[in-house]
Amino acid sequence: MLDVFCHWLQATPLSLLISTHFWIIPALQTVHILAIASVISSAFMIDLRLIGLVRGEQPADEFAARFLPFIWWPLPILALTGALLISAEPARSLENPSFGIKMALLLGAITVTLLYQHRAAHLGRALRVGIGCMSLLLWTGIVLAGRWIAYTQP
């Protein structure tokens, strides 16, 4: 079923356009990485603040609010560049275990981010540290799984 979809997607004009112009894939990947840079640096700043490794004069929730837009607004860019990269070589990711892991971790990271976005001010210290660590691990896992897509091709 997935295989049929991959073959169909690969035959679309969009897929052909991307895969026959050698510079489009590295260009899309560069935009993808720059958007990830925004997400990772912002998420890590918040996580380190939640854990208590970064001290700020602002309370954790105000600190988080400053960096949160730089997590949320790159996400549509990541979805778009990611979707275009998939359309160029569907089987490379859709049938790749690393890609599945990356998407599962992404779901987790978004859930944790939403959690502290709405609850950071009301969390006890232990819970704040726990959520900070969880977010740190999830975002790290996303980058690692993303890089492994290149090495675990079906």
Q: Which residues bind other proteins (CB under 8 A)?
A: 22, 25-26, 29-30, 33-34, 36-42, 44-45, 48, 54, 56-57, 66, 70, 140, 143-144, 146-148, 150-151
Q: Give whichever of 70 and 99 is closer to other proteins, judged by the CB atom.
A: 70
Q: Give whichever of 8 and 37 is closer to other proteins, judged by the CB atom.
A: 37
Structure tokens at 127: 């819970």
CA-angle at 37, arms to 34 and 41, nearest 5°: 160
Smallest gap from Cβ 1 to other proteins, in A, equals 27
Distance separating alpha carbons of residues 27 and 46, to the nearest angstrom: 29
End-to-end Cα spacing for the chain: 16
Smallest gap from Cβ 30 to other proteins, in A, equals 5
Q: Give whichever of 103 and 127 is closer to other proteins, judged by the CB atom.
A: 103
Distance separating alpha carbons of residues 52 and 38, to the nearest angstrom: 21
Smallest gap from Cβ 124 to other proteins, in A, equals 24
Structure tokens at 49: 């603040």
Smallest gap from Cβ 106 to other proteins, in A, equals 15
Residues contacting residue 37 through CB under 8 Å, at least 6 positions apart: none
Q: Give whichever of 132 and 146 is closer to other proteins, judged by the CB atom.
A: 146
